[in-house]
């Protein structure tokens, strides 16, 4: 895209005209055809430019709460405001929600969707893509990961599913343990280890293999250490969120016990301060950040800078619609 002349917020002559909210449900084929939910936000300027944002609320009740929250006055302050002053509006939303949103939750979902829509709107007005507005692209290409919840009831069948993803061009595969369907991963140590061995054989030595330990697994520290050591022999890329986010001592102990297995963490963090605390506590090797949940593009970019300061890799932990995915890629 040809780079166009930009305006500073002080020079902008446009203003926000409307904010509309759209709760949506969809069928997630990768999760045994579960019904999942998102909330989309559409912001239009007086000159007709439109920006879209999204938060990934996942459950019906969270979607209803976020929709009501957004429609009950949270975005009223934006009407008539400069659409280019995105970071000022991000700070304003966080200050506005000081009583009920300092630790994330519904307020963070709302902030994420509005912030993402504002960045999209700003890009439309300036004729720039998101990476240009954030300082420029850091890479021409990124590795693609197939996030998979295997559905086959047998180890051989699941391994074939993963091999198909690699054959289709994905550089990594991520496998959800403790998920719905017939895979039954995460309940039997010996079977889990046998599956990872078969998966590695099926996808070959060069493809990445990530293990996502879902909350249904409920592994304690000894079980997790044993499993991580067994999986280390198969060269897994990382083990993701093996414990609840508040089990900080277990994360630290796991990293000490099995340093050869990178730990990914952050799926259930919501704020920049959450990420700061996780980094300072040295809980992970890879920080999982999703702009549709953790403060939008502004929150994600701030968390990425913190991770860089601590020498920790990041993963744009994104799924749901193309809106959230596009923001994550940029």
Q: DSSP letters of 186-240?
A: TS-HHHHHHHHHHHHHHH-SSSEEEEEE-TTS---HHHHHHHHHHHHTTT-SEEE
Local structure of 64: helix, strand or coil: helix
Which residues, in sequence order, are CB contacts of 315 under 8 Å at separation 6+?
264, 286, 287, 288, 289
What's the CATH code, domain 9-133? 3.30.390.10
CA distances from 10 to 15, 36, 83, 85, 119 (A): 12, 40, 11, 8, 17
Q: How far apart are CA 268 and CA 275, in angstroms?
A: 10
Instruction: Give residue 12's pLDDT.
Output: 62
Local structure of 47: helix, strand or coil: coil
How many residues are present in the chain?
330
How many Cβ atoms from other residues are within 10 Å of residue 49's Cβ?
A: 19
Q: How far apart are CA 301 and CA 314, in angstroms?
A: 11
Q: Where does the pLDDT of residue 44 fall: very low under 50, low under 70, confident under 90, or very high at 90 and above?
A: very high
Which of 218, 21, 207 shows the shortest CA–CA distance to 117? Answer: 21
Instruction: Give residue 5's pLDDT.
Output: 44
Average pLDDT over residues 147-168: 93
Distance of CA 48 to the CA centre of its chain: 30
Backbone angles phi, psi at 11, to 5 degrees: -95, -5
Specify the CATH superfamily of domain 145-329.
Answer: Enolase-like C-terminal domain (3.20.20.120)
Of 1-5, 84-88, 97-101, which has the strongest mean pLDDT? 84-88
Local structure of 68: helix, strand or coil: helix
Q: Is the pLDDT of residue 3 over 50?
A: no
Instruction: Give residue 1's pLDDT.
Output: 41
- Which residue intervals of the chain bear CATH 3.20.20.120? 145-329
Listing DSSP states for 88-144 in one string gives: HHHHHHHHHTTTT-TT-THHHHHHHHHHHHHHHHHHHHHT--HHHHTT--S-S----
Average pLDDT over residues 301-321: 92
- Which residue intervals of the chain bear CATH 3.30.390.10? 9-133
Instruction: Give residue 84's pLDDT.
Output: 98
> What is the pTM for the complete model shown?
0.92
């Amino acid at each position: 895209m040809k780079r166009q002349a930009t305006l500073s917020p002080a020079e902008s002559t446009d203003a926000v005209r409307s904010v509309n909210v759209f709760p949506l449900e969809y069928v997630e084929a990768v999760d045994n055809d579960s019904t999942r939910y998102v909330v989309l936000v559409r912001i239009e300027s007086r000159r007709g430019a439109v920006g879209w944002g999204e938060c990934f609320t996942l459950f019906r009740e969270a979607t209803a709460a976020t929709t009501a929250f957004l429609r009950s006055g949270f975005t009223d302050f934006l009407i008539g405001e400069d659409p280019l002053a995105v970071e000022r509006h991000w700070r304003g939303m966080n200050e506005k929600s000081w009583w009920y949103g300092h630790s994330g939750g519904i307020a963070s979902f709302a902030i994420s969707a509005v912030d993402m829509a504002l960045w999209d709107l700003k890009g439309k007005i300036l004729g720039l893509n998101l990476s240009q507005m954030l300082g420029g692209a850091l890479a021409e290409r990124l590795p693609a990961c197939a996030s998979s919840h295997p559905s086959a009831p047998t180890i051989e069948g699941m391994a074939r599913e993963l091999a198909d993803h690699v054959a289709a061009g994905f550089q990594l595969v991520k496998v959800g343990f403790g998920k719905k369907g017939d895979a039954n991963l995460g309940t039997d140590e010996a079977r889990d280890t046998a599956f990872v061995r078969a998966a590695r054989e099926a996808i070959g030595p060069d493809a990445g293999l990530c293990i996502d330990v879902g909350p249904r697994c409920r592994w304690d520290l000894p079980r997790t250490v044993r499993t991580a050591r067994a999986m280390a022999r198969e060269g897994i890329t990382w083990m993701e969120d093996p414990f609840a986010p508040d089990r900080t001592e277990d994360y630290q102990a796991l990293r000490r016990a099995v340093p050869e297995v990178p730990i990914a963490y952050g799926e259930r963090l919501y704020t920049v301060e959450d990420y700061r605390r996780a980094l300072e506590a040295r809980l992970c090797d890879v920080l999982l950040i999703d702009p549709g949940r953790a403060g939008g593009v502004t929150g994600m970019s701030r968390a990425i800078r913190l991770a860089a300061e601590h020498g920790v890799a990041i993963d744009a932990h994104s799924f749901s619609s193309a809106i959230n995915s596009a923001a994550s890629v940029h």
